[in-house]
């Protein structure tokens, strides 16, 4: 019996200023394949459906269990992680494209550094002084822990930026993921001490006011993070901080 096959179409570009070309590959079906397996199959035999020799497709992947965020791409028109995109569940032919809100490196690989720069800009960490034993940390209520745990699952994949209409070439909006991380660090008993500078980083261009409440972000987050709740919560924090700063005269 002939092997069952399926088609994968891939948007390819060596550089962002090079013309786009779509390549089609016919792959041998095996049960439980995901998109990463498809890309590995192509790397092993980079021959297009018409028989012309091509090159392995460039993409990023690491953990293969939706933890590292690296393999985010557009699969059949939707931003998602390639590792959890199962061939059995996808409409055929499968179409793969790179995320569009980050600079293209090559093929399906993009440079997501802007997200990490924005995490730095908004001070999304908790400064701890020294390497000695600081003793037990402050207590957190189970309710705070529960919300914090949900927010801490962000894998910086960038899917929420891809789907956000306000993340575009005319705006510097940091995106829902960054705002949600500000909420996470501001709710921590130690992180709270630096809430002011984090909120200030979200005031003005690119900050929380640039959110138009499209609410697309929450629909594509692979970790189910309550992003719209984070946007609302941080918006309120920014407002209160601005009013307090005004009356303090700072």
CB 177 to ligand SF4: min, Å: 4
Q: Which is nearer to ligand SF4, 85 or 220 (CB)?
A: 220
Pick from 23, 27, 19, 35: which is nearest to 3 by CA? 27
By CB under 6 A, name the one of 33, 87, 154, 164 that touches ligand SF4. 154
Q: Which stretch binds ligand SF4 (CB under 6 A): 91-99, 123-131, 191-199, 222-230?
A: 222-230
By CB under 6 A, name the one of 76, 156, 215, 216 that touches ligand SF4. 156
Q: Which stretch binds ligand SF4 (CB under 6 A): 17-25, 36-44, 54-62, 221-229?
A: 221-229
Pick from 234, 226, 158: which is nearest to 200 by CA? 234
Q: Which is nearer to ligand SF4, 165 or 189 (CB)?
A: 165
10 Å CB burial of residue 205 (0-12, 13-18, 19+) is exposed
Phi and psi torsions of 31, nearest 5°: -60, 150
Binding flag, residue 177, ligand SF4 (CB under 6 A): yes
Residue for token pair 């987050």: 221
Binding flag, residue 160, ligand SF4 (CB under 6 A): yes
Tallying the residues shown for the chain, one arrives at 250
Token pair, residue 98, equals 């790179």
By CB under 6 A, name the one of 221, 231, 234, 238 that touches ligand SF4. 221
Q: Which stretch binds ligand SF4 (CB under 6 A): 91-99, 151-159, 207-215, 234-242?
A: 151-159
CB neighbour burial string for 150-189, b if at least 16 within 10 angstroms, e if fewer: bbeebbbbbbbbbbbebbeeeeebbbbbbbbbbbbbbbbe
CB 79 to ligand SF4: min, Å: 8
Binding flag, residue 158, ligand SF4 (CB under 6 A): yes
Q: Which is nearer to ligand SF4, 27 or 157 (CB)?
A: 157
Token pair, residue 203, equals 């005031």
Token pair, residue 127, equals 């400064």
Binding site for ligand SF4 (CB under 6 A): 154-160, 176-177, 180, 220-223, 225, 227
């Amino acid at each position: 019996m002939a092997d069952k096959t399926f088609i994968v179409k891939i948007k390819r570009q060596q550089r962002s200023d090079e013309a786009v070309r779509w390549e089609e590959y016919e792959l041998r079906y095996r049960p439980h394949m995901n998109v990463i397996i498809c890309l590995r199959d192509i790397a092993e035999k980079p021959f297009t459906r018409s028989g012309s020799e091509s090159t392995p497709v460039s993409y990023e992947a690491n953990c293969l269990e939706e933890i590292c965020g690296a393999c985010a791409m557009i699969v059949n028109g939707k931003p998602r992680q390639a590792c959890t995109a199962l061939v059995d569940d996808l409409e055929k032919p499968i179409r793969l494209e790179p995320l569009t809100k980050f600079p293209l490196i090559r093929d399906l690989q993009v440079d997501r550094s802007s997200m990490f720069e924005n995490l730095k800009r908004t001070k999304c960490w908790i400064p701890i002084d020294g390497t000695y034993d600081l003793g037990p940390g402050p207590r957190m209520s189970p309710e705070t822990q529960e919300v914090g745990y949900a927010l801490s699952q962000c894998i910086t994949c960038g899917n929420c930026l891809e789907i956000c209409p306000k993340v575009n070439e005319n705006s510097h909006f940091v995106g829902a993921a960054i705002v949600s991380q500000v909420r996470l660090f501001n709710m921590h008993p130690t992180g709270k001490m630096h809430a002011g500078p984090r909120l200030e980083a979200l005031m003005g261009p690119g900050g929380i006011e640039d959110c138009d409440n499209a609410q697309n972000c929450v629909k594509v987050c692979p970790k189910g993070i309550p992003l719209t709740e984070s946007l609302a919560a941080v918006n309120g924090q920014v407002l209160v901080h601005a009013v307090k700063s005004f009356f303090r005269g700072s």
